[in-house]
Amino acid sequence: MQTVIRTDKLTKRFGTLTAVDRLDLEVREGEVFGFLGPNGAGKTTTLRLLCALIAPTAGTAEVAGHRLGKEDPEIRASVGILTEQPGLYERQSAIENLVFFATLYGLDRTTAAKQATHFLQLMGLWERRDEAVATFSRGMKQKMAIARAALHEPRILFLDEPTTGLDPDAAKTVREFIVALRGEGRTVFLCTHNLDEADRLCDRIAFFRHSIIRIDTPDQLRAELYGRATEIRLLPTPRAEDLARIRAVNGVREAWLENGSIIVAADDPLRTNPELVRVLVDGGAQIAYVSERKAHLEDVYLKIVEAIR
């Protein structure tokens, strides 16, 4: 797959504060790329840099085949951005808002109207196309802002917290839209604090705090956290000696109690699990069930954030 974003030691300083520090990044065409990090990590600054909205202090970048700082209008034409705030003209109707922005992206009147119609229908806002945006709910405004970002069919779509404040139904519409964009071969650069969403949507995830800390697929990140884990439910509850027996089994890296179950991290669960069952039964424990336990991306996130503190 072709690389659509490539940065080389991209740096942005504001006085003494370094918001982005020698960022090296490659994003491939057609992937949904998750960009995760704590508040104040410099995610918005990175987005603004990659959208040619602000200039880097040092380093270089190439976005959609255009050099940052040399072909900025071409970069802005190739990307769409959903900012933290919807930023819509509230006195104007939904269709007027979209047609206005389409014109600014260089679309002729017919294409602008066609695209505005298409995206209003896609976002379920067509029935309210002639109403002032001020009358819209937070979720509807967010959907309008997403429609505006995608209106000119950009090669790369930068989405900053796209489902924040949306009800589950609207959030589902947005997630389906992101999946559809990937299906068309468009790249989605997704900034989110919703780790479940990142897990479900992203092909790769970068943990970021002024520079990249870790980057991989969600499955690989989870696997590296504690291998493949097993959850063992005992009746009535696990005892201290059960935990001690498990920890003594060969191949067990870690075992702990969580919500009344024993979680076991092992290098090779297929070999270790039968032994775990045997030692527990031999020790008089009553096993309710044994299942594979997938680590949550939240566990990975918290572990990484804790490590860098």
Partner 1 sequence: MTVATLAMRPQRVALVRAVCVREWREALGNKLLVGMTLLPPSVILAAGIAAVAAAAVNPPSERDVQALYAAAPAVAGLDPKEAVQGFIATYFLILFMLIPTVVPLTMAIYSVIGEKSARTLEPLLATPVGVGELLFAKSLASTVPSVIVTWAAYAIYLVSVISIGSQAASRAVTAPRWIFAIVVMVPLLTLLSVNLGILISTRVNDVRVAQQIGGLVVVPVVGIGIAQVTGRVVIDNQTFIGFASFLILLDLAVFFMAKFAFQRENILVRWR
**What is the binding site for partner 1 (CB under 8 A)?**
2, 14, 29-30, 48, 51, 53-55, 64, 73-74, 76-81, 83, 85-92, 96, 100-101, 103-108, 111, 115, 145, 148-149, 152-155, 184-186
Q: In the beta sheet, which residues pair with residue 175? A: none
Phi/psi at 35 (5° precision): -125, 100
Between 80 and 227, name the residue whose CB sits nearer to partner 1. 80
**Rounded distance, CA 62 to CA 71, Å?**
9
Token output for 93 = 């109707």
Q: Which is nearer to partner 1, 72 or 216 (CB)?
A: 72
DSSP 236: S
Q: Which of 102/304 has CB closer to partner 1? A: 102
Indicate the residue among 144 and 290 with the shorter CB distance to partner 1.
144
User: Which tokens go with 305?
Assistant: 């954030």
Q: Which is nearer to partner 1, 145 or 264 (CB)?
A: 145
Backbone angles phi, psi at 105, to 5 degrees: -90, 10
CB closer to partner 1 out of 93 and 220: 93
Sheet holding 17-28, edge to edge: 17-28, 3-14, 58-63, 66-67
Output the smallest distance, CB 39 to partner 1, in A. 17
Residues facing residue 213 across a β-bridge: none
Q: How many residues would you count in the chain? A: 309
How far apart are alpha carbons 137 and 159 in whole angstroms?
19
**Minimum distance from residue 97 beta carbon to partner 1 (Å):** 9
Quote the least distance from Cβ 111 to partner 1, whole Å: 7
Smallest distance, partner 1 to C-beta of residue 119, A:
12
Min CB(158)–partner 1 separation in Å: 9
What percent of the chain is helix, strand and coil (3-state, nearest 5)?
40, 30, 30
What dihedral do alpha carbons 225, 230, 231, 233 form, nearest 10°?
-150
